[in-house]
Amino acid sequence: MKPVPHLPHRPRLARLAFGVPFALSLCLGSAAETAPRNVILFVGDGMGVSTVTAARILDGQNRGQPGEENYLSFERFPHLALVKTYNVDAQVPDSAGTMTALVTGRKARVGVLSVDPSVAHGDCEGALSNPLTTLLEEAEQRGYRTGLVTTTRITHATPAAAYAHSIDRKWEFAAAMPEDARGKCKDIARQLVEFPHGDGVDVLLGGGRGVFLPVEQQDPEDAEATGHRRDGRDLIAEWLAAGEGRRFVFDHDGLNALGADGQVLGLFEVSHMEHEADRLADAGGEPSLAEMTDFALARLAAPGAPGFFLMVEGGRIDHAHHASNAYRALTDTIAFAAAVTVAVERANPAETLILVTADHSHTLTIGGWPARGNPILGLVVGADGKPGKDMAGDTYTTLGYANGPGAIKGAQGDLEPTHPDYRQRATYPLYLETHAAEDVAAYALGRGAEGVRGVMDQHELHGVMRAALFPADAPKTSDGG
């Protein structure tokens, strides 16, 4: 990927949005009144600073460079902050609480989606009466276009926090809820299909067909899979029936064949989509995160709306880290950076804020004494050309984790450290490597980006996005504490 230039950018979105040359549109009215106002929020799930550094090096090395001098697309953005990610009740946070902070301006409890932190865990009725309004809801209420793009199930914590209010992130479909909650509260997939604001979310691309389909129904792509729902409901059919001109697709070809208008639900896997490293081997064919971003932006920027809000998640960086598998975490991070490049090329920074951040970090570390240009996934080889050795005289890798399955004896099998399935070594044996609590970075470009600076609390990023989207409003004070 080529380095992304700083301002100014060609106003490609402006031309698309007005349908006439930008200069002509200026003659038709004040540009400030008519120009669209857009926010694109990119979330690298689990993309801590060490992940960005290691992915930057791998990306450069994949193109034959030493790697350390490389930049990922968003690292060229002019505005930067460090972001505190803790949840109301957790030092090391989860994605539900952190995404709630980003999209509502209030920190939440760990595991809780866009519900006031005064509501206790498990209290589904309390959650019903204490929802936190999300940016996506506000955007729909004001006639903006909206979109959610992710590589996880579209009902997974990060995308779900944008549209659902649930005291438990695991309630993705009714059968996953406790029986008493099922009668009172809606599962997350139903909340998406029955989204009550505006005309509903306009572009929904990700994985997770299973949570929308009943167990009686065979999956459209995978002959061996059925839906997960035990309430007999086909939520894809319900979503299609609830609006004019809606389209559902489940593979790459289906997405490419769509016309230019109408709302789109694209669910490309029964569960999560593939990691980027495995995507091309997928039987049905999946679009890349960059392709999905391009598709979403083309629709959301069409004329006729005051602007749009789009969230794009590189959702499986996190999953690879949990498996102590740096290869897939880093290749997914590089694919995420490619999706950001698409947005930079399409967006006019006078109209659009592009905010790139992570919800939380992971325990990945980059250490030892490797020479410049030493393969980032490989064994440490020093500047003297000799392999680095530990106290027992064994070689060791540059990348490691503080905890996770890589500390379990034999977790690496006979694989070389550079193999895609290798699990990096860890200190403490846990079946799943954990999130980490150090700050993540936020990178901003375009409209209102200068508000991203210094050390910020995560919920404060909501105010920056909200001001860019709804400039007529007085800034809403954030009180996330």
Other CB atoms closer than 10 Å to residue 289's CB: what's the count? 30
Q: Please identify the residue of the shown chain whose CB is closest to the bound Zn ion.
A: 318
Cβ of residue 169: shortest distance to Zn ion, in angstroms? 11
Q: Which is nearer to Zn ion, 152 or 348 (CB)?
A: 152
Cβ of residue 272: shortest distance to Zn ion, in angstroms? 12
Supply the DSSP symbol for 229.
Answer: B
Task: Give the total of residues touching Zn ion (CB under 5 A).
Answer: 1
**Does residue 202 interact with Zn ion by CB under 5 A?**
no
Residue of 187, 269, 318, 359 interacting with Zn ion (CB under 5 A): 318
Q: Which is nearer to Zn ion, 251 or 318 (CB)?
A: 318
How far out from the chain centre does Cα 307 lie? 20
Which region among 16-24, 265-273, 317-325, 366-374 touches Zn ion (by CB under 5 A)?
317-325
Which region among 233-241, 280-288, 313-321, 439-447 touches Zn ion (by CB under 5 A)?
313-321
Which region among 136-144, 275-283, 316-324, 348-356 touches Zn ion (by CB under 5 A)?
316-324
Cβ of residue 262: shortest distance to Zn ion, in angstroms? 34
Please name the helix (run of DSSP H) or strand (run of DSSP E) that holds residue 355, with its range, or none.
strand 352-358
Name residues whose C-beta falls within 8 Å of residue 101's C-beta, 6 or more positions apart in sequence. 85, 107, 108, 457, 458, 459, 461, 462, 480
How many angstroms separate the Cα of 452 from the Cα of each of 104, 179, 447, 455, 474?
Answer: 17, 44, 11, 9, 18
Cβ of residue 435: shortest distance to Zn ion, in angstroms? 6
Which region among 74-82, 302-310, 315-323, 370-378 touches Zn ion (by CB under 5 A)?
315-323
Which region among 141-149, 160-168, 228-236, 314-322 touches Zn ion (by CB under 5 A)?
314-322
Residues acting as catalytic residues: 95
Letters for 268-307 (x = contact with Zn ion by CB under 5 A, - = none) are: ----------------------------------------
Q: Which is nearer to Zn ion, 137 or 318 (CB)?
A: 318
CA distance 293 to 341: 10
Q: Which is nearer to Zn ion, 252 or 272 (CB)?
A: 272
Cβ of residue 94: shortest distance to Zn ion, in angstroms? 7
Q: Which long-range contacts (CB under 8 A, 24 or more apart) does 65-73 make?
A: 65/373, 66/372, 66/373, 67/373, 67/376, 68/372, 68/373, 71/3, 72/1, 72/333, 72/334, 72/337, 72/340, 73/1, 73/3, 73/4, 73/337, 73/338, 73/340, 73/341, 73/344
Can you name the residues that pair with 307 across neighbouring β-strands? Answer: 37
Q: Which is nearer to Zn ion, 362 or 462 (CB)?
A: 362
Which region among 119-127, 275-283, 311-319, 371-379 touches Zn ion (by CB under 5 A)?
311-319
CA distance 158 to 182: 22
CA distance 138 to 349: 22
CB 47 within 8 A of CB 314: yes
Letters for 383-422 (x = contact with Zn ion by CB under 5 A, - = none) are: ----------------------------------------
Cβ of residue 318: shortest distance to Zn ion, in angstroms? 4
How far out from the chain centre does Cα 38 lie? 17
Cβ of residue 397: shortest distance to Zn ion, in angstroms? 22
- 10 Å CB burial of residue 223 (0-12, 13-18, 19+) is exposed
CA distance 273 to 181: 29
Q: Which is nearer to Zn ion, 95 or 341 (CB)?
A: 95
Cβ of residue 244: shortest distance to Zn ion, in angstroms? 38
Tokens 């990060």 sit on residue = 158
Enumerate binding residues for Zn ion (CB under 5 A). Answer: 318
